[in-house]
Amino acid sequence: MTGIYGFLFQVYPYVCLTVFLLGSLLRFDRDQYTWKSDSSQMLRAGLLRWGSNLFHFGILFLFFGHLVGLFTPHAVYGGFMTAGTKQMLAVVAGGIAGAICFVGLSMLLYRRVFDPRIRLTSHPTDIAILLVLWVQLVIGMITLPFSYRHADGSVMLILADWAQRIVTLRPVDATVLASLPWPYLIHIVFGMTIFLLFPFSRLVHVWSGFATVTFLFRPHQIVRSRRLNVPAGHNKPRQPGAGV
């Protein structure tokens, strides 16, 4: 079992992150026409409106919550917050966001599987990635009672130390992770697997979502209308209070 834990928590993360980065780059370079979310709103918008909004709100909160929670060194927040307080904050906030995300994702998955029109136009990877996300979310919510029992924050510190060692290329002791309850271990493996599948699914549109921040810093665009055969003086914007 030691060899399995060593592969899953020392080697597998780097395999997934390498495929995630290089695969995304290659897909953007070679298949830009497939770089999209493939929205099915035109086919049926019923459950999509609620499901998509709930899912995206929940998943973005969970993503940034994991990002801050795992990669913020204890020394940064240790002066004003204990590890136990941070863990309980993560349990409460993560539980609420997870429930919202679960409702939205379940609606999207139900729509994708049981709506004949949507199912007919869906690629197998569309359903597969929704299932993987759904299972990952369920396992994440199963970890909440375990986190509540370890209110001292010890589990959170172990997970944060592992994540920070992975991204900083430092040695990882897989036996420490092996001592954690099973939901945490499966949650980590499924999380890394999502990064592995990322370049081969519609999830690549997440990159474009983050890239929209650049619109805040691009130069202003001047748009001029071109009106042909319009009498002089009639091509100006209508003034407030002017007659019809």
CA distance 156 to 90: 10
Report the pLDDT averaged over residues 82-109: 93
Hey, what are 23's tokens? 């695969």
Enter the CATH code of domain 2-35+43-206.
1.20.950.20
- pLDDT tens-place string over residues 3-16: 899 999 999 999 99
pLDDT at 59: 94
Highest mean pLDDT among 24-28, 118-122, 193-197: 193-197
Of residues 32 and 22, more confidence is placed in: 22
DSSP 34-77: G-S----TTT--HHHHHHHHHHHHHHHHHHHHHHHHHHS-HHHH
User: Is the predicted pLDDT of residue 38 greater than 80, yes or no?
Assistant: no
CA distance 167 to 180: 21
Q: How far is C-alpha 226 from the geometric centre of its chain's CA atoms?
A: 43
pLDDT at 130: 92
Domain boundaries, the chain: 2-35+43-206
Highest mean pLDDT among 152-161, 187-196, 201-210, 234-243: 187-196
pLDDT at 37: 65
Q: How far lies 61's CA from each of 45, 110, 223, 240, in Å?
A: 24, 22, 36, 43
Hey, what are 216's tokens? 């805040």
User: Is the predicted pLDDT of residue 226 greater than 80, yes or no?
Assistant: no
- Per DSSP, the three-state class of 221 is coil
pLDDT at 24: 93
- pLDDT tens-place string over residues 171-183: 988 888 888 999 9
User: Is the predicted pLDDT of residue 187 greater than 80, yes or no?
Assistant: yes
Q: The pTM is what? A: 0.80
- pLDDT tens-place string over residues 52-79: 899 999 999 999 999 999 998 888 888 8
pLDDT at 228: 59
What pLDDT band is residue 40 in, cutting at 50, 70 and 90? low
Largest CA distance in the chain: 84
User: Is the predicted pLDDT of residue 170 greater than 70, yes or no?
Assistant: yes
Report the pLDDT averaged over residues 217-238: 64
pLDDT at 62: 95
